[in-house]
Structure 1
Amino acid sequence: MSSANQPEGPAPVKGGLVAYLTVAGAMKAAEFYVGAFGAEIAAALPVDDQGRTMHVHLHVNGASLMLSDAFPEYGHALQPPQAFSLMLMVDDIDARYAHAVAAGATAVTPPADMFWGDRYGQLRDPFGVLWAMNQPKR
């Protein structure tokens, strides 16, 4: 993605808690999240000569999500995602889940009605991040 496609100036931060993920291929992850989850790229720093970027700011599902590549030479090494998931609250979980899988996410727990009354499922993106989707009972 060229810098000509990037918004100018700082993007507003949405949400009271913002996840900041380090992944292998932050711009590729951003583009995947656009296609799979309907994210919008709010801002991104250009990639370096190794194809890495220090900062990508996304708006997804009414919140901000930030990404960067690892920069081990600055003490910021890549580590596999562990012990967390990102939750998307959705209205049409079956369609949203199927769309994410079609875009390249791996099904982990297909959507099902849960004991707490909501419909819930999990998938893993190509960058190793576990995503949960939850459709509240209406």
Structure 2
Amino acid sequence: MTDQTPAAPTGGVIPYLTIPSRGGQAAVEFYRAAFGAEELFRNLADDGERVLHSRLLINDGVVMISDEFPEYGNASDIVPVGVALHLQVDDADEWWNRAVTAGAVPLMPMADQFWGDRYGRVMDPFGHTWSIAAPIKA
């Protein structure tokens, strides 16, 4: 993590996750353990506890997170239905096992799928769904 704000990437789509119940700092640690995240930057709110902004590098892509700030209209009381963050990786079983060991809850078991991927889905401890896939090994 750097002390200076690194330039944010331009272009593309960057997911920005709201973390409930002052869990932002725990979320950073979970994403490190589960998905090998590298934290590029973090700002804490004036209270010194809540994450105002964290920028993570996961599987060569950026994911941003913050704690919820209901006083600014950023609350996490809406469950993210119909949304999954997808990880296309080299070894789906390795990523799956690491995520489950770190505390992710399996939603769809890791299995070979008809479209040619080994694929499964988990929910992180903060309510966000992640899919993990890799081409089936021949």
| 4+ residue segments displaced more than 4 Å | none
1:3 matched residue in structure 2: none
* 1:44 alignment partner, SS class: strand
2:125 matched residue in structure 1: 126
Greater fraction of residues in strand: 2
* 1:96 alignment partner, SS class: helix
Task: Find the partner of 1:44 among 34, 38, 42.
Answer: 42
Alpha-carbon RMSD = 1.7
Partners of 1:101 and 1:53 lie apart in 2 by 24
Unpaired runs of 5+ residues, structure 1, are 1-5
1:8 matched residue in structure 2: 3
- Report Cα offsets for 1:80-121 as digits up to 9, x if no partner: 222100000111111110111011111111211111111100
Matched, 1:17 2:13: yes
The TM-score normalised by the length of structure 2 is: 0.88
- Quickly say closer, same or farther: Cα 1:74–1:47, change in 2 above 3 A: closer
**Cα contact 1:20–1:66 (8 A) shared by 2:** yes
The TM-score normalised by the length of structure 1 is: 0.88
Partners of 1:48 and 1:31 lie apart in 2 by 21
The residue correspondences of 1:50-129 to structure 2 (distance < 5 A) are 51-79=49-77, 80-129=79-128
Unpaired runs of 5+ residues, structure 2, are none
Partners of 2:53 and 2:130 lie apart in 1 by 21
**Cα contact 1:27–1:56 (8 A) shared by 2:** no
* 1:45 alignment partner, SS class: strand
Q: Percent identity?
A: 44
* 2:98 alignment partner, SS class: helix
Partners of 1:115 and 1:12 lie apart in 2 by 40
- Quickly say closer, same or farther: Cα 1:92–1:112, change in 2 above 3 A: same
What amino acid maps onto 2:68 in structure 1? A
